[in-house]
Amino acid sequence: MASITAVATGTCFLQSANDLSHQSILGARGAVHFSKSVSAPALLLQASRSNSSNLNVVGFGRRKYGSVRSRGGDAVAPASAVRHLVGSVTKTEGLRFAIVVARFNEVVTRLLLEGALETFKRYSVRDEDIDVVWVPGSFEIPVVADRLGKLRKYNAILCIGAVVRGDTSHYDAVANSAASGVLSAGLSSGVPCVFGVLTTEDMDQALNRAGGKSGNKGSEAALTAIEMASLFEHHLKQ
Ligand SMILES: Nc1c(NC[C@H](O)[C@H](O)[C@H](O)CO)[nH]c(=O)[nH]c1=O
Ligand SMILES: CC(=O)[C@@H](O)COP(=O)(O)O
């Protein structure tokens, strides 16, 4: 059981009880105490001050944002009319992902891929719901991401590569093409395409971001892919 006390200004939004460790508090009004004592997506919100009547809950899967019970248990706070649509990382059932990974600098990209796969597993994405597509280099990622998106089989496409600066301007061409290409793939296919391509000055910087002292960017990108997939599937479906 986790417990968080937040004191800040603004309005308080929660995604779900299970999301407390992942950007669940976007702001708080007054002094607010949250107890994670119920299973997601149910929420127990305990407000420690009377002005907590402005609390809003964005519960995963809740189409309507109902009232929030204050700590006293007798007052029912009115919900705001403003809707906040946020993807959830906790409800991944049925979501499908493609990972496009570049073989260039494979010593790095394999580690990024491992980080991504571990994160998908941690967030209960099934192996059967993940396809991994290898391409020669980061320059080739966008055209494949675009095609995968247009297959309408996947909820998000995770793009993984490692562009490491050399002696010439080749780095800039590949890095910029990969970035703008992945963006274009998302826009033209309508499927979220997430940029998990490292663009680094040297190999040390790349390895540090592939499970070294700066974390694993493949893992972070996988979490972004899950949130975007959920946002589209549960809130932005056409
Ligand atoms: N130098 C890097 C490349 N270069 C290869 C290109 O991505 C591409 O495969 C080639 O130009 C043929 O079209 N790729 C990376 O992923 N990382 C690099 O550092
Ligand atoms: C992205 C690349 O930069 C690369 O490997 C090319 O290196 P160089 O600029 O030394 O030819």
Sheet containing 193-200, strands listed edge to edge, beginning at the edge strand earlier in sequence: 130-135, 97-102, 156-164, 193-200
**Which tokens is 118 given?**
């571990």
Gyration radius of the chain's alpha carbons: 20
What pLDDT does 19 receive? 37
Task: Give residues (CB < 6 A) around ligand 1.
Answer: 102, 104-105, 136-140, 161-164, 170, 174
Q: How far is the CA of 7 from the centre of ligand 2 (A)?
A: 49
Residue 80 has what DSSP assignment?
P
What pLDDT does 62 receive? 31
For ligand 2, is residue 93 a contact (CB within 6 Å)? no
Q: How far apart are CA 103 and CA 217, in angstroms?
A: 16
Residue type, 134: W
For ligand 2, is residue 175 a contact (CB within 6 Å)? no
Residue 234 annotated to the active site: no
What pLDDT does 78 receive? 64
Beta bridge partners of 194: 158
Profile the chain (238 residues) by mean pLDDT over runs of 10 residues.
31 35 33 33 30 33 31 53 96 97 98 98 98 98 98 98 98 98 98 98 98 98 98 97
What pLDDT does 79 receive? 73
- The domains located in the chain, with CATH, are 2-77 (no CATH), 97-234 (3.40.50.960)
